[in-house]
Amino acid sequence: SQTIHQWPATLVQPVGSPLSLECTVEGTSNPNLYWYRQAAGRGLQLLFYSVGIGQISSEVPQNLSASRPQDRQFILSSKKLLLSDSGFYLCAWSVRGRVDEQYFGPGTRLTVT
């Protein structure tokens, strides 16, 4: 069966510090991968998605970036965090080549102080 992992589960970082959140998927190959941010009362905001290694599409061009160094690994990064980057970050995957449901990881709670 497929599983998706995210770490860390929680993170408290000062303004201006760097960020690296990691997501890995097991039990499937060539997935589509997604990063979302969830802020209270605002639903889910799609940040990035990827259909293959090194292929990243950005939906929100701010101070965040994403990379996909391996087929089942998706990394969300920032060089300098802002207060507004606080939120709940969710990684998800879906089957390549199909429009179908997305499967979500457990999330990372980021607090920028």
What residue ranges bind another protein (CB under 8 A)? 32, 34, 41-44, 46, 49, 51, 59, 88, 90, 92, 94, 99-107, 109
Q: Spell out the alpha helix ranges (H) of 1-113.
A: none
Handedness of CA 30, 59, 90, 104 (dihedral sign): negative
The answer to whether residues 78 and 15 touch, using CB atoms and an 8 Å cutoff, is: no
Rank residues 83 and 99 by Cβ distance to another protein and give the closer one: 99
Rank residues 69 and 97 by Cβ distance to another protein and give the closer one: 97
CB of 36 to another protein, least distance (A): 8
Rank residues 86 and 109 by Cβ distance to another protein and give the closer one: 109
Rank residues 11 and 103 by Cβ distance to another protein and give the closer one: 103
Residue reference for tokens 């939906």? 59
Tell me the residue ranges of DSSP E strands in 29-101.
Answer: 32-38, 44-52, 55-58, 64-70, 73-78, 87-94
What helix, strand, coil percent values describe the chain, rounded to 5? 5, 60, 40
